[in-house]
């Protein structure tokens, strides 16, 4: 791997590192606004070449049936990433703006280690199941259920947790026997392109099995959902873009996996430790500048304790000042771009226009003249009908909303077009369990429980997407089911 300074990444197409037909485009350090280096800029023609390579690798090689090879290659990739983990850490902090402390978990090391789960699952999976003998329509038959790879997978990923999301698609899709074309976000091309270097230098992946196409042009990714040679699209990103992916994929009736937006609620019941719960909510919203789809950004608290809840959340958030992601103490780093910072600021301005107020934060920190920073912010004085309570802001912004009892808290939490995640805090196990059961979401944290793990499926209800990523359920998203019936001898 090249040094971080002045790095120039390439495309990975058909087993080779190649230049982009459109030249290169810069990647920016969001904490300093400095140009780090450049990435290969692909065109739709480059994407077509990558798709053809993936199609050929699936149709003309034994990749889809050679489980031993697949398992070995995925383990090789994991080991290569572990060997270069410190270089990857510095790249992630610089390009993503991810706080250093988060790279030991979900921003880097966790997803790398999770590749072992993908390899182990493929190695131990029951690819065929004997359904037994039967006589449907009077015909004696022996029947088998076979699970097989879907084919060519197009993966389109965002910039907020690039290693986690890239590997959560690459790992299970390839382990299941598919070939894959990855189109990462233009904001974080290196986090994806570096995988191409590691694959070519340290693994036995056959040419065309994994292709990585970076581009500054968002329409290049759209080719994956439009091209008939692609059998499935796996997309993580905004709900609006997810709709476009579904629309494009409908023409060829592709299989589609979508992990989309969220506006998750953190419910505090009236028997909870209010200060501790609100402090955790504030910490969670500030983490990685709130750039996480499952982050709980609505704090739903008992009306009688509303002012105390706002004060507790604000006290914690004020202490989590936006700062240098290189520091081991930083929780809230920069937003990914000037565009995203301006978008978040637009929502803060809207909160005031809607009648809200800031208990802390509210804009750019005075001590950060450069970088795409927004101070962790607590919004008070609004209800669940406010736009800042309904729309995904993707910044370190927590809106505090009052509830009038458990049923009302559940109603507020569920009154959202999204259904990705949720949190419940309280001391009575029966109450917390009852509230958790009523939430229309894909994951629930009760009193600090952690749902993120390699073996736990992740995904949402409603406009937060369809299907599941990670776990055995995530592995099986990349499989088709075939029934084979053989006429039994008389």
> Using an 8 Å Cβ cutoff, are 247 and 235 in contact?
no
**Cα dihedral angle (88, 91, 93, 95), rounded to 10 degrees?**
-140
What confidence tens digit (pLDDT) does each residue in 152-189 have?
A: 999 999 999 999 999 999 999 999 999 999 999 999 99
Of 278, 351, 357, nearest to 315 (Cα)?
278
pLDDT of residue 412: 98
pLDDT tens for each residue of the chain, 490 residues long: 554 656 899 999 999 999 999 999 999 999 999 999 999 999 999 999 999 999 999 999 999 999 999 999 999 999 999 999 999 999 999 999 999 999 999 999 999 999 999 999 999 999 999 999 999 999 999 999 999 999 999 999 999 999 999 999 999 999 999 999 999 999 999 999 999 999 999 999 999 999 999 999 989 999 999 999 999 999 999 999 999 999 999 999 999 999 999 999 999 999 999 999 999 999 999 999 999 999 999 999 999 999 999 999 999 999 999 999 999 999 999 999 999 999 999 999 999 999 999 999 999 999 999 999 999 999 999 999 999 999 999 999 999 999 999 999 999 999 999 999 999 999 999 999 999 999 999 999 999 999 999 999 999 999 999 999 999 999 999 999 999 999 998 7
The pTM score is 0.96
CB 154 within 8 A of CB 233: yes
User: Which residues lie closer than 8 Å to 35 by C-beta, 6 or more apart?
Assistant: 26, 27, 28, 29
What is the pairing mode between strands 296-302 and 255-259? unpaired
**Phi/psi at 355 (nearest 5 deg)?**
100, 5
pLDDT for 6: 67
Distance, in Å, from the CA atom of 286 to the CA atom of 332, rounded to the nearest integer, reads: 5
What is the distance between the alpha carbons of residues 297 and 263, in angstroms, rounded to a whole number? 6
Give me the catalytic one of 259, 392, 469, 477. 259
Nearest to 392 by CA among 298, 457, 313, 279: 298
Strands in 443-446's sheet, in edge-to-edge order, are: 357-360, 377-380, 397-403, 296-302, 264-268, 421-425, 443-446
Residue 387 to residue 288: CA distance in whole angstroms: 22
The answer to whether the CB of 300 falls within 8 A of the CB of 356 is no
Q: Where in the chain is the domain with CATH 3.40.605.10?
A: 8-260+464-484
Residues 8-260+464-484, CATH architecture: 3-Layer(aba) Sandwich (3.40)
Q: What is the dihedral of CA 370, 30, 90, 295, to 10 degrees?
A: 120
Strand pairing partners for 424? 267, 446
Q: What is the longest distance spanned by two Cα atoms in the chain?
A: 85
Q: What SS3 class is residue 356?
A: coil
pLDDT of residue 284: 97
Q: How far apart are CA 447 and CA 280, in angstroms?
A: 10
Q: Is 259 a catalytic residue?
A: yes
* In contact, 253 and 238? CB cutoff 8 Å: no
Is residue 83 helix, strand or coil?
Answer: helix
Topology of domain 265-446 in CATH is Aldehyde Dehydrogenase; Chain A, domain 2 (3.40.309)
- CB of 122 closer than 8 Å to CB of 170: no
| CATH 3.40.309.10 residue window(s) in the chain | 265-446
| DSSP category for residue 10 | -
Residue 289 φ/ψ region, left for φ over 0, alpha for ψ in the -120 to 50 degree band, beta for the rest: left
Dihedral sign computed on CA atoms, order 271, 277, 279, 281: negative
Strands (E), 163-228: 179-183, 210-212
- Is 379:399 a contact under the CB 8 Å cutoff? yes
- In 179-313 the beta strands, taken as DSSP E runs, fall at 179-183, 210-212, 232-236, 255-259, 264-268, 296-302
Q: Tell me how far apart the alpha carbons of residues 310 and 264 are, in angstroms, rounded to a whole number.
A: 18
Which pLDDT tens digit goes with each residue over 276-286? Answer: 999 999 999 99
Query: Do 58 and 237 contact (CB within 8 A), yes or no?
Result: no
């Amino acid at each position: 791997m090249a040094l971080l300074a002045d790095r120039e990444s390439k495309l990975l197409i058909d087993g080779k590192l190649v230049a982009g037909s459109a030249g290169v485009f810069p990647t920016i350090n969001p904490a300093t606004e400095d140009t780090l280096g450049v990435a290969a800029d692909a065109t739709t023609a480059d994407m077509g070449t990558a798709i053809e390579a993936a199609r050929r690798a699936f149709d003309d090689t034994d990749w889809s049936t050679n489980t031993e090879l697949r398992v070995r290659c995925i383990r090789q990739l994991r080991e290569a990433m572990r060997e270069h983990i410190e270089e990857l850490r510095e790249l992630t902090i610089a390009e993503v703006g991810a706080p250093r402390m988060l790279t030991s978990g979900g921003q880097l090391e966790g997803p790398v280690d999770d590749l072992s789960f993908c390899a182990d699952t493929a190695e131990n999976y029951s690819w065929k199941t004997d359904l037994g003998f039967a006589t449907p329509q009077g015909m004696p038959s022996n029947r088998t259920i076979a699970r097989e790879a879907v084919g060519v997978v197009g993966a389109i990923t965002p910039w907020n947790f690039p290693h986690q999301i890239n590997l959560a698609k690459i790992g299970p899709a390839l382990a299941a026997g598919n070939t894959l074309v990855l189109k990462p976000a233009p904001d974080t091309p290196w986090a994806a392109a570096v995988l191409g270097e590691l694959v070519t230098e340290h693994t036995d992946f056959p040419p065309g099995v994994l292709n990585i196409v970076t581009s500054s042009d968002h329409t290049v990714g759209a080719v994956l959902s439009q091209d008939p040679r692609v059998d499935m699209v796996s997309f993580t990103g905004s709900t609006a873009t997810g709709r476009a992916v579904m629309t494009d994929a409908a023409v060829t009736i592709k299989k589609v996996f979508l992990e989309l937006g969220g506006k998750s609620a953190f419910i505090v019941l009236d028997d909870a430790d209010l200060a501790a719960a609100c402090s955790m909510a504030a910490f969670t919203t500030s983490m990685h500048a709130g750039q996480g789809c499952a982050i709980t950004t609505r704090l739903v608290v008992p009306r009688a304790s509303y002012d105390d809840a706002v004060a507790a959340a604000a006290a914690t958030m004020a202490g989590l000042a936006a700062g240098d992601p290189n520091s081991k103490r930083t929780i809230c780093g920069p937003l990914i771009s000037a565009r995203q910072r301006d978008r978040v600021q637009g929502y803060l301005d809207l909160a005031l226009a809607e009648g809200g107020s800031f208990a802390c934060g509210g804009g750019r920190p005075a001590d950060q003249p450069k970088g795409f920073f927004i101070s962790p912010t607590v919004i008070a004085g609004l209800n669940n009908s406010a736009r800042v309570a309904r729309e995904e802001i993707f910044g370190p912004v927590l809106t505090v909303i009052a509830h009038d009892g458990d049923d009302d808290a559940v109603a507020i939490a569920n009154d959202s077009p999204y259904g990705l995640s949720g949190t419940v805090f309280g001391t009575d196990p029966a109450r917390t369990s009852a509230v958790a059961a009523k939430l229309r979401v894909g994951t629930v944290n009760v009193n600090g429980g952690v749902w993120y793990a390699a073996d736990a499926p992740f995904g949402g209800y409603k406009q937060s997407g369809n299907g599941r990523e990670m776990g055995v359920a995530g592995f099986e998203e990349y499989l088709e089911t075939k029934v084979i019936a053989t006429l039994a001898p008389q």
